[in-house]
Structure 1
């Protein structure tokens, strides 16, 4: 997991090239004007999903895990808490893998941590890392966010 701000170039310059491409997309958009839905960046290799929804209590959600895509989650408006943990065999799947949407759900995440996103902050989750986005800090809020899906094959170290 990586956590940062899209405009902190001094630090972001050390990120992998494909993550920098995702941040470049974010920095070149008027994020508040992006319409909900899919926005192609590089076909199925890299695309953005923009969504508006209400946050909920973390206890009411399950964590998601991806196999093929990296998530670059960036908050556009509101405040969002994301719980996450490292991959562990103790994080048992509660649903079958949905290949078309690249995810399965995990009921419990062992040794959970959390980050709180403010507008223009981002969190990167790699395949295999359970994460529970859309959680509320204190009370439900409407948020707008963009999740850039990056095909894991694009990550070259």
Structure 2
């Protein structure tokens, strides 16, 4: 696998009577439910460009950084992408049974600390979040992800 040229920030929520089905519903809502996700760590290639999520053929192997929260109450997730002066991107994923404001704040703090450790300044910070709680089912899930391709 080479260096991805494109990425998209996506999020989704779902609910169901089992935890796995709630997670699946959130992936479907995010537009990546029929993909085989390969989880990555926290680096966004310097020359990668943000784009709209393409329609992947069912069963595609798709690299992604994923934040997922599944529970029987409030669940929230956040992906925070920070672009450094060098062009490198750093990604934080946070998920919790807490408010969306809390996970967003923690994810931004992570990216700020990751930049500091690299001795660089952030020139751009973007977030994508998801938050929900079950209304008509036992379980809820919130997913946020940065998906790579190209």
TM-score relative to the length of structure 2 = 0.31
Question: Which is helix-richer, 1 or 2?
Answer: 2
